[in-house]
Amino acid sequence: MEHTEANDAFLVKSYIEGNENSLSILINRHQHRIYSFIFSKVFDKDVAEDIFQDTFIKVIRTLKRGKYNEEGKFLPWVMRIAHNLVIDHFRKNKRMPKFENSGDFNIFSVLCDSGLNAEKQIIKDQIEADVKELIKELPEDQLEVLVMRIYKDMSFKEISERTGVSINTALGRMRYALINLRKVIEKHNLVLTN
């Protein structure tokens, strides 16, 4: 073990002095262990490849800048860099979640129809038709305000101008229209939910 560490230290020193072949030896010597470590965390070959590359880019830049402190711990140092980059990877993914597609790509995992399906659409149409029939039971003045507000999407100011009553009266008629509508629904035990 000490022999290997000494060799690493020698190779690092040699690399810093300009011997590019030393880096090749270091990478070949430790690539399996570092790559396996990264893969064991991310379980994705492409991601592992990227992190392995980023790890050694960092190693190369640090060594060339002369900022590496040789303590005979080259491999633990590289593993620490890889570990930090794995953490960065998961942090980044947490902020920007991706769609996972292991194996066959399924377009419906990224696309969905937000509209109602045929069955729900039929139920919705039935409920709306029932409500239209129910509101006919309301007194004329309340019915008029409710239709203008709900079906014609008019404001209470517009309703008051059209019907010639105050806004407060229009609001009151709307309130009583809803109260009476609920009473009719309860009286007939109707279920008007989708």
Interface positions, 62-91, toward other proteins (CB under 8 A): 64-66
Q: Does 53 bind other proteins (CB under 8 A)?
A: yes
Between 57 and 123, whose beta carbon lies closer to other proteins? 57
Report, in Å, the least distance between residue 38 CB and other proteins: 9
Q: Which of 9, 39, 130, 134 binds other proteins (CB under 8 A)?
A: 39
Asked whether the beta carbons of 82 and 52 are under 8 A apart, the reply is yes
| Residue 172 tokens, joined | 């009151």
Which sign does the torsion angle of CA 18, 20, 23, 29 carry?
negative
Show the 3-state SS of 58-81: HHHHHHHCCCCCCCCCHHHHHHHH
Between 66 and 103, whose beta carbon lies closer to other proteins? 66
Find the part of the chain contacting other proteins (CB under 8 A) among 2-10, 46-54, 89-97, 163-171: 46-54
Distance CA 9, CA 29 (A): 13
Place of tokens 């830049």: 61
Interface ranges with other proteins (CB under 8 A): 20, 23-24, 27-28, 31-32, 35-36, 39-40, 48-49, 52-53, 56-57, 60-61, 64-66
